[in-house]
Chain A
Amino acid sequence: KQEVTQIPAALSVPEGENLVLNCSFTDSAIYNLQWFRQDPGKGLTSLLLIQSSQREQTSGRLNASLDKSSGRSTLYIAASQPGDSATYLCASTNAGNMLTFGGGTRLMVKP
């Protein structure tokens, strides 16, 4: 059974810093890995999707990498802004097309 872990659980940084969120998974036989953002009391917004054959995906200030062999993915946020404050969730898709979530990283960017 796939297990997904996110470290750290919470992170507080000053505005302008570059930061990295980590995601690890136990079963490397994934179809893809997806990063989501969730604002308090809101739904999940998809940020980036990395297919198993890809190494990274970029969208604006966000860059997500995938290393299947080591069971790791990272989400890099450049020049963080207060508006980036949210919970970030990673999730893997495995056989059966089941999505398994990590516990999330709660990010606070201070002005």
Chain B
Amino acid sequence: DAGVIQSPRHEVTEMGQEVTLRCKPISGHDYLFWYRQTMMRGLELLIYFNNNVPIDDSGMPEDRFSAKMPNASFSTLKIQPSEPRDSAVYFCASSLSGKDGYTFGSGTRLTVV
């Protein structure tokens, strides 16, 4: 198994531009999570899906952030318009049931200038 795959690994964009981060969970995993990591705030849960349905998006900072999971093998996190304070590492994780642990992707390092 290739694990959780995220793309791109690095993204540098100008303020105001749209950014799309992508995630492919492990095949067969029913849960998918998006986290953001910064030095100041550590790991923050943004949103998570169960069977492609968003369950909790209370961690999404504001309306500029949106996430979708059109099928079991793909999810996107979109920021529009991006701002410098969105600069962080964004991680995607998946789990078979939640009770058997989580596997994280390598993350996308986003820099908004």
Contact residues of A with B, CB < 8 Å? 31-32, 34, 36, 41-46, 49, 51, 89, 91, 93, 96-101, 103-104
Interface-central residue, B48, B102, B103, B106, by most chain A CB under 10 Å: B102
Q: Which of A42, A44, A46, A93 contacts B98 (CB 8 A)?
A: A93
Is there contact, CB below 8 Å, between A43 and B102? Answer: no
Is there contact, CB below 8 Å, between B97 and A44? Answer: no
CB neighbours of B31 from chain A (8 A) = 97
Contact residues of B with A, CB < 8 Å? 31, 33, 42-43, 45, 48, 50, 55-56, 91, 93, 95, 97-107, 109
Is there contact, CB below 8 Å, between B56 and A93? Answer: no
CB neighbours of A46 from chain B (8 A) = 101-104
CB neighbours of B45 from chain A (8 A) = 98-100
Alpha-carbon distance A91/B93, docked complex (angstroms): 13
Given A31-B99, A51-B99, residue A101 in contact with residue B105 (CB < 8 A): no
CB distance from A41 to the nearest CB of B (A): 8
B95 nearest CB neighbor, chain A only: A97
Is there contact, CB below 8 Å, between B42 and A49? Answer: no
Is there contact, CB below 8 Å, between A99 and B106? Answer: no
CB distance from A56 to the nearest CB of B (A): 16
CB neighbours of B43 from chain A (8 A) = 89, 101
Q: Which of B42, B56, B100, B105 contacts A43 (CB 8 A)?
A: B105
9 contacts between A and B (CB under 8 A): A32-B99, A41-B109, A46-B103, A96-B56, A97-B31, A97-B98, A98-B48, A98-B56, A101-B43
Given A42-B106, A46-B103, residue A97 in contact with residue B50 (CB < 8 A): yes
A36 nearest CB neighbor, chain B only: B104
Q: Which of B55, B95, B107 contacts A96 (CB 8 A)?
A: B55
| Other A-B pairs beyond A49-B101, A91-B102, A100-B45, 5, CB < 8 Å | A31-B99, A97-B98, A97-B99, A99-B45, A101-B42
